[in-house]
Copies of this chain bind each other. A is one copy, B any other.
């Protein structure tokens, strides 16, 4: 039975899963043998590829009530993104690279946040500061998380520290970051087995912007035609989502991970305002956005400005 629960956010991505495993190793090296990694949702195919490649076991799905349990959060802090019983847990430590919001504790704790591209980069620094050995498997998981969050170092969220960590980890893990990274991203980028509803919801977040409630989904792909060929059924799924009246506008961002561009598919009220945000016009509800890959840095800010 674990006495310290370590986990990343709901709808886990590779950084959320791998950072939990890495942090459990950090705790063990610090003498905390009862630390154990958990996950708050299903693994995506990209993460599964990384775990298989580096022969790492997937964390167990968290089902325990955390009341009065010792927990460590990685890659998130906002309670609505965390375990349902987080408010009654004893949070010992947080390692994260996001803003801090909807988070509070009753007691002093360890909190390590840095505005870097990836939580695993912070964990890499923590291992180095302590002089801990980074085993090839742990190095591979760190590298995979950095590649995932930075889309192979192309996202504007990627910092020099993320790149420097990745360079050191490449040697420790014994892989070529470009070759391995592309295979890993491709493993997560196939949409052929997914239903339209799965595609539009897989990585969707809701934003309140001016008087609009905007749902923005993002899907990685190595061939944007895989998405565009299914435009009719995707539009039908989006229209059904919009009819629920919860959202005013839906923006599906199909990101080409090979060329670092995106194509958006926009439906809903005043959809032309979305196109205007990027100085383009919608053609059959779609528009091409060269050089755009980051929802956080390149999609949300211009749409927020256009709708506010």
CB-defined contacts of A114 to chain B, threshold 8 Å: 108, 110
- Interface presence of A104 (CB below 8 A): yes
Whether, in the assembled complex, A197 has its beta carbon less than 8 Å from a beta carbon of chain B, the answer is: no
| Chain B residue, CB-CB nearest to A116 | B108
Taking the nearest CB of chain B, how far is it from the CB of A9, in angstroms? 14
CB <8 Å contact, A102 and B100: no
CB distance from A66 to the nearest CB of B (A): 18
Cβ contact of A115, chosen from B97, B101, B107, cutoff 8 A: B107
- Do A105 and B115 touch across chains, with their CB atoms under 8 A apart? no
Copies in the complex: 2
Contacting residues, chain B, for A129 (C-beta < 8 A): 129
Interface size class of A (residues with CB under 8 A): 20 to 34
Q: Which residue of B lies closest to A106 (CB)?
A: B99
**Interface residue A113 (Cβ < 8 Å from any Cβ of B):** yes
Check if A304 is an interface residue, CB within 8 A of chain B: yes
Provide the residues of chain B in CB contact with A304, threshold 8 Å.
106
Assess whether A111 is interfacial by the CB under 8 Å rule: yes
A103-127 contact mask (Cβ, 8 Å, vs B): 1 or 0: 1111111111111000000000000
Q: How far is the CA of A91 from the CA of B109 in the complex (A)?
A: 20
Q: Tell me if A194 is interfacial: C-beta within 8 Å of chain B.
A: no
A155: min CB distance to chain B, Å:
13
Residues A216-230 near B (CB distance < 8 A): none
Given contacts A110-B114, A113-B109, contact A101 B104 (CB under 8 A): yes
Out of B100, B107, B296, name the residue touching A103 (CB < 8 Å): B100
User: How far, in angstroms, from A103 to B112 measured CA to CA in the complex?
Assistant: 15
A186 on interface, CB distance cutoff 8 Å: no
A245-278 near B? 1/0 per residue, CB < 8 Å: 0000000000000000000000000000000000
A100 to B106, CA, bound (A): 7
A98 at the interface (CB under 8 A from B): yes
Contacting pair A113 B111 (CB below 8 A): yes
Q: Are A110 and B115 in contact (CB under 8 A)?
A: yes
CB-contact partner of A111 in B105, B107, B108, B111, under 8 A: B111
8 pairs of residues in contact across A and B, judged by CB atoms under 8 Å: A97-B108, A98-B108, A99-B108, A100-B105, A101-B105, A103-B104, A107-B115, A110-B113
- List 20 extra interface pairs beyond A99-B107, A110-B115, A111-B111, CB under 8 A: A97-B108, A99-B104, A99-B106, A99-B109, A100-B104, A100-B105, A100-B109, A100-B111, A101-B104, A102-B104, A103-B103, A106-B304, A107-B301, A108-B114, A108-B115, A109-B113, A110-B113, A112-B112, A112-B113, A129-B129
